Structure 1
């Protein structure tokens, strides 16, 4: 029988969090054999694990160490448990701790198979409750955007930069407002992007310094719910002042590309076809993609990625072939980036259904703020 083993913290391992539904900051051993899921927890976590987790059985670490006589040797402990439960093969996640994996292989007591992530592929199909968990986080993000829009609306312009409450409005300041809002709603926002002008032309640039007036500002927020572990992910692009014709044309193209992509999403569709359609549309509008001495320009990232217990997971809506299934959740986030003109990205979250998709995010697209 296969003996599937995890040794990680569910705060860092989405498969393990899905596997047992248990939050813990430290790594612990968990395994599945014959359809039963078990965890080996220390006295620090044992009672809580019995009470809160979805494991079929929770085993006390201290008793396992004493009974097995394995001391601090994790590999020997895994082998002892495998023998006790009648395993015939060990299955380890591809990123299982290397030292222990080598020890298991060297001891040679069981055939060893490494399993690609995600190990728990069933988590890619979201239940109604899981969809609602993602929708909740996106609702928190929408509230953050309302605060961003209020601050931008209250800001004035001096010397080409935004001023709020007598001081320059910086990427850092706006990011702090977003973080505090999310924290009050039970979510942790890490890595939030607030990038204006040419900074936004590097899509993962977080942004720094005073925000420019009259230039595009990308705000990408992707917090994690502390209780459910699910992420939300939305992006809006703003401009304080009056946009010029080139800026409007850029933003309108990105919004139209997103609409076209969402209209094409449904069960059975190849995500690559959706992505290729977005690329073709941008090309038809004169927004070609390339690279020069300053870096890439145009549209040079995927159209979307899966969202759930990881911020980036399957499915993919990108250059890679990927057949979409009902219940999968994906972002849809086309973008265009041209230094000197600026960057624009618009992102929402949908769940794939038969014949279409449904939104799991909702916030207006009012991007020009007087």
Structure 2
């Protein structure tokens, strides 16, 4: 059961039991009612069918005795009557199944009728260069149905060979911003460019082949570790996977497993810790060898020592690519070539750690608050 530990931790077992019992009692009552109808309907239909047989044979025998009907006609009439009655029995059973089928059809139709929001252009642009240069030009974005935009007039560039870090308070739009690059959403105003081409004019396949994305919540699939690492690059050999695991600081716990990279991972990585899942997700992106790396708060479950080692090796292995890094911790972004400070969907500062520490109030507050927390800890 998903969330069982949360239920226990908040002492809500009794409440959840009541909800579960209510749902099950409703299901039980409905099931009993349907079965009562079936229990009554089936015998009634059988009685009707048998009495019909008796009536057909009785009246048929009389007519045969009078010489008005042949035995063959009686048998044919009896067979046709049985076919009709059996069809009526099947119809009655079908009427019981129809409501269940309607519920299933309704759910399926909701999926089938859903229209795609993100579509490829009819005449897509070809990307000649392959550098991974990312540029936001006066981008404004809001979610469907939202009153206010999540991002307001965002403009910046992320260049190959550099690390661009994005930091800000919770709800400032950091994750939303990086999701615009692989075109998980389309911007309301402005333009997102990759290698000088508007992402809206590229095919989604061509765009996403350039990107190695590590989501905020690490997502692994049931199968072996090797299968998960090859998810973005099926042609990856063992040496490439080992190199990615070493860079992601995951080689130790992988090799400690009895089957190594052939060890099984349960659905959603249930048999791994949060830090292990994050490191495998990072290794999966590294195996892809893309031009743009997007790390959406992907180091949050790592301790400071592992975080530092990972960033150091990551910079060496990806010095050719564009790295866009979303983080909550200042220690994670301190060595970035440029740090973008977001506040309520707006860029309030761009610069290095030292530059922002000198003249950016929001960044100073973030640094100060984290230092206070560390001192308190």
* TM bracket (short chain): under 0.3
Q: Higher RCO, 1 or 2 (CA under 8 Å, sep at least 6)?
A: 2
* Greater share of strand: 1
From the CA coordinates, give the structure whose radius of gyration is larger.
2
* Greater share of helix: 2
Could you tell me the TM-score, scaled by structure 1's length? 0.20
Could you tell me the TM-score, scaled by structure 2's length? 0.19
